[in-house]
Structures are given as structure tokens and as C-alpha cells.
């Protein structure tokens, strides 16, 4: 069984105000979900916050188990079934629930252990992982091929290195194939 864990504070804070104070003074990255716990007289509660930037305290509370009036979303986990797209999975979850609310989160687990998380905002599912395009630049010694599997949002990079007595060469003393000069070029992340 795979488990998805958000970034979390290990300490259980003595009050909601103390936990909020910690979140207000924390910096995280854009779209990072952070959980923090606090005590009340009757229970230990959990806050799930979504950071909007790397600016200190720039977050929204998505869920607070101790304060239902402040709850703005639920968390769903889904496993990808063969042939199913992310859109199919999100539609399936919407059909299974009576209503979908702003700040509902869905984490999709792919068979290759990759994950993708979406948040529901104003009628649309927004991916929390940024779309990345990887472009391989060939060099005189390496030919790169980049292939994206859109169903799992993963990339495969393949490098073909021709035997040309420059990048790969035969050692004249031993007759063993060895690496000469390999220039892998540059990868550009858009």
C-alpha cells in the first residue's frame, strides 16, 4: 500500500492560535500542502494549509478538523486504472460525491509510484504540479530523445552515443571500448 504524506510539523501545538502562529511564520514553496496539529480540551485537531507562494505566511487553510466553519475542502486519494486519464479520474470522483467544493484536493497515484495532485477552484480542477516541458539539445556526440507519457506525467530521456572514435573509442593498448569525450548538451526546462 502506498501512502501520500503532506509536509507536516511533528509537534502538537497547545492551541489553535499557537499552530496558526507557526504557519504565519513559516515559508514553504508554491502549492505545498502543510499539516499542523493542535490540542483542544477534548481532542487533537489537524489543519491542512496550502501555501500560495514562498512568502512567509502566504497560505490558505484548506481544512481544520477542530473548526468546521473554517473547513474549505476535503482530501481524496485515487488510484489510476489502466486506460484512465487524470480527467477520467477527476470526473469519477465528482460522480461519487454529492458535491465538490472549492479547495477539495485529489491525489492520483500512478502504477509507477508517481503522483499528481489537483485542487478544485471555482468550478475547475487545477493541477498543483507545474507542467514541465523538457527539450533535449543534441550535441556532436550525443543524440537525445525525450518522450512524455501523458497518462502518468512522466518523462523518459534516452541518449544515443555513436561509436565514432571520439565519444566512444577502442583503447589501442587493451582493445577495450572506453569513453572518450561525451558532451551531453543542455536540457532546458520551460
Based on the fold, state whether residues 1 and 68 are members of the same structural domain: yes
Nearest CA-CA partner of 4 in 113, 93, 111: 113
Residues 118 and 167 in one domain: no
Number of domains in the chain: 3
* 165 shares its domain with 148: yes
Domain termination residue (choose one: 72, 87, 122): 72
Domain limits for position 155: 134-189
44 and 56 part of one domain: yes
pLDDT in tens, 121-174: 778 888 876 445 566 677 766 777 777 776 655 667 777 766 666 666 777 788
- The residue among 28, 52, 72 that closes a domain is 72
43 strand-pairing partners: none
In this structure, the answer to whether residues 117 and 173 fall within a common structural domain is no
User: Is 16 in a helix, a strand, or coil?
Assistant: helix
- pLDDT confidence of residue 11: 92
Q: Looking at beta carbons, which pairs linking 48-51 to residues 24 or more positions away fall under 8 Å?
A: 48/6, 48/73, 48/75, 49/23, 50/103, 50/119
Residue 177 and residue 153 share a domain: yes
Contact 50, 33 (CB under 8 A): yes
Closest CA relative to residue 103, chosen from 85, 88, 118: 118
More confident residue, 154 or 110: 110
Q: Are residues 153 and 172 in the same domain?
A: yes
pLDDT digits (tens, 9 = 90+) for 7-65: 888 899 999 999 999 999 998 888 888 999 999 887 888 998 989 998 998 998 888 87
Given 30, 51, 72, the domain boundary residue is 72
* Same domain? 62 vs 82: no
H helices present in the chain, as ranges: 16-24, 86-96
- 101 and 149 in a common domain: no
All cell numbers assigned to 15:
492551541
Q: Are residues 58 and 82 in the same domain?
A: no
What local confidence, expressed as pLDDT, does residue 36 receive? 92
pLDDT the model gives residue 23:
94
Question: Could you tell me if 8 and 62 lie in one domain?
Answer: yes
Cβ count near 96 (within 10 Å): 9
| 83 shares its domain with 65 | no
Amino acid at each position: 500500500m502506498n501512502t501520500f504524506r503532506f509536509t507536516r510539523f511533528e509537534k502538537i501545538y497547545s492551541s489553535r492560535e499557537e499552530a496558526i502562529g507557526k504557519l504565519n511564520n513559516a515559508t514553504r514553496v508554491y502549492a505545498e500542502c502543510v499539516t499542523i496539529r493542535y490540542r483542544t480540551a477534548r481532542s487533537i485537531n489537524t489543519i491542512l494549509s496550502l501555501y500560495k507562494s514562498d512568502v512567509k505566511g502566504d497560505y490558505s487553510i484548506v481544512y481544520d478538523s477542530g473548526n468546521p466553519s473554517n473547513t474549505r475542502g476535503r482530501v481524496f486519494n485515487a488510484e489510476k486504472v489502466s486506460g484512465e486519464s487524470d480527467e477520467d479520474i477527476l470526473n469519477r470522483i465528482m460522480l461519487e460525491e454529492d458535491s465538490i467544493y472549492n479547495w477539495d484536493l485529489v491525489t492520483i497515484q500512478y502504477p509507477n509510484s508517481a503522483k499528481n495532485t489537483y485542487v478544485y477552484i471555482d468550478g475547475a480542477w487545477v493541477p498543483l504540479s507545474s507542467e514541465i516541458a523538457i527539450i533535449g539539445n543534441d550535441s556532436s556526440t550525443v543524440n537525445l530523445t525525450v518522450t512524455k507519457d501523458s497518462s502518468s506525467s512522466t518523462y523518459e530521456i534516452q541518449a544515443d552515443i555513436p561509436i565514432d572514435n571520439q565519444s566512444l573509442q577502442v583503447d589501442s593498448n587493451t582493445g577495450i571500448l572506453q569513453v572518450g569525450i561525451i558532451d551531453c548538451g543542455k536540457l532546458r526546462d520551460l
